[in-house]
Chain A
Amino acid sequence: MLLEYINRVLGKAASSSRIHARERLRLVLVHDRAKMSPYFMNQLKEDLNNVIARYMVIDFDKFEIVLDQSDKVVELKTSVPIKKIRRDYMDRIKRSS
């Protein structure tokens, strides 16, 4: 207690495992929630496809989405093989909105 007090007075940085806890929790919950339902990723993929389809024709069988974890971020990585771009995309946007 006293030592801690002296440390503070001397302005030594307090440890901050709180920040670590919060960040690690946030990252692990991204994975947990995405994987809790087997439908989550498939649903997302279909929704993405519906939006993309307004602009281009893609190869749905080779369309991939994955969660990619690096040190500090989880990223949604997509790989979307394009077959062709639509010329009538403006009409399609209007129609679907």
Chain B
Amino acid sequence: MGEIIVVTSGKGGVGKTTTTANIGTALASEGLRIILIDTDIGLRNLDVVMGLENRIVYDIVDVTNGNCRLKQALIKDKRFENLYLLPAAQTKDKSAVSPEEMEDLCRELKEDYDYIIIDCPAGIEQGFYNAIAGADQAIVVTTPEVSAVRDADRIIGLLESSDLRNPKLIINRFRPRMVRQGDMMDIEDIVDILAVDLLGVVQEDDRIIVSTNRGEPAVMNLISPAGEAYRRIARRIRGEEVPLMNLEESYGIMNRLRRFMGLC
């Protein structure tokens, strides 16, 4: 029986789609059977991040409307044959999928897959409630900024009142250097304020943009710090105890020198 994980945030653009693609790919690379569902109806993105945009024939609304069978709409990944994407529709009608339809869909997919990872739209409208309807577990993504953490807090409240208790937090676009300069909230500030379990910290990493350009998730890139962070997150999802990445390593030579000289 598979597990259904929804990736949420509240604030837009903090990295839900990036997170979904990377965790899914990392888990698939370990041989697990994975489905990614894009529920951002009207603003389909996950297909592009995965590099699968040219293969789409049917989408999630075709499935729930009965235009095709579920299996027909699933797109097989280029790299892993045990990884599939169910794309969002590009229609404007955000209520095209109901919470009940989503639950049915999840129940069906649970039989054949180990993890079903749902990319949630931004905001707290109906699309959010549709996306979380069938989920067993939630991940909340935030960046270390006041507005994003504030929205994350709101989402955690809504998840808990929808019976998705103990959501797990990912802090994305973290910049250790700014923290050390006293210009960014630190991991413990955020975890403390939100009072949730930390699933991982992903650094700001230019390679994320490169990998999005190529349609190849950063976990495929062995020198990407963000890719390494997502690989660790995937192992934690499987229940392994994995220490946080050594964020210091990427500080660069000047910082290391400074530290060596005891200047900061």
Interface residues of A (CB under 8 A from B): 1, 4-5, 8-9, 14-19, 21-22, 24-26, 28-29, 32-33, 36
> Would you give the 0/1 interface string for B171-183, flagging 1 where the beta carbon is closer than 8 Å to chain A?
0000000010111
Kindly supply a per-residue 1/0 record for chain B positions 124-166, scoring 1 wherever the CB is within 8 Å of any chain A CB and 0 otherwise: 0000000000000000000001100110011001000000000
Minimum CB–CB distance for A23 against chain B, Å: 10
Docked-complex contact B258 and A18, CB < 8 angstroms: no
Q: B interface vs A, CB < 8 Å? A: 145-146, 149-150, 153-154, 157, 179, 181-186, 189, 193, 254, 258, 263-264
Residue contact A21 to B258, C-beta cutoff 8 Å:
no
Closest A-chain residue to B261, C-beta based? A9
Q: Which residues of B contact A16 (CB under 8 A)?
A: 182-183
Which of A5, A14, A18, A28 contacts B189, CB < 8 Å? A18
Inter-chain CA distance A4–B252, complex, in Å, is 14
A17-B182 contact, Cβ under 8 Å, with A24-B146, A28-B146, A32-B154: yes
Give chain B residues whose Cβ lies under 8 Å from the Cβ of A18. Answer: 179, 182-186, 189
Which residue of chain A lies nearest to B192 when distances are taken between CB atoms in the complex?
Answer: A22
A28: B residues at CB distance < 8 A: 146, 150
Q: How far is the CB of B67 from chain A (nearest CB, A)?
A: 39
- The interface residues of chain A lying within 8 Å CB-to-CB of B185 are 18, 21-22, 25
7 A-B pairs in the complex with CB atoms less than 8 angstroms apart: A14-B182, A21-B189, A25-B193, A29-B150, A29-B153, A33-B153, A36-B157
Q: Which chain B residues lie closer than 8 Å to A25 at the CB level?
A: 146, 149-150, 185, 193
Known pairs A8-B258, A15-B183. 14 more at Cβ < 8 A?
A4-B181, A5-B254, A8-B263, A8-B264, A16-B182, A16-B183, A17-B182, A17-B184, A21-B185, A25-B150, A26-B193, A29-B153, A33-B153, A33-B157
List chain A residues, Cβ under 8 A from B145: 21
Contacts of B189 in A (CB 8 A): 18, 21-22
7 smallest CB-CB distances across A and B, nearest first, come from A16-B182, A14-B182, A17-B183, A22-B189, A25-B146, A18-B182, A21-B185
- Chain A: which residue is nearest B161 at the CB level? A37
Q: Are B193 and A19 in touch, CB under 8 angstroms? A: no
Contact B149 A14 (CB under 8 A): no
CB atoms of A14 and B181 under 8 A apart? yes
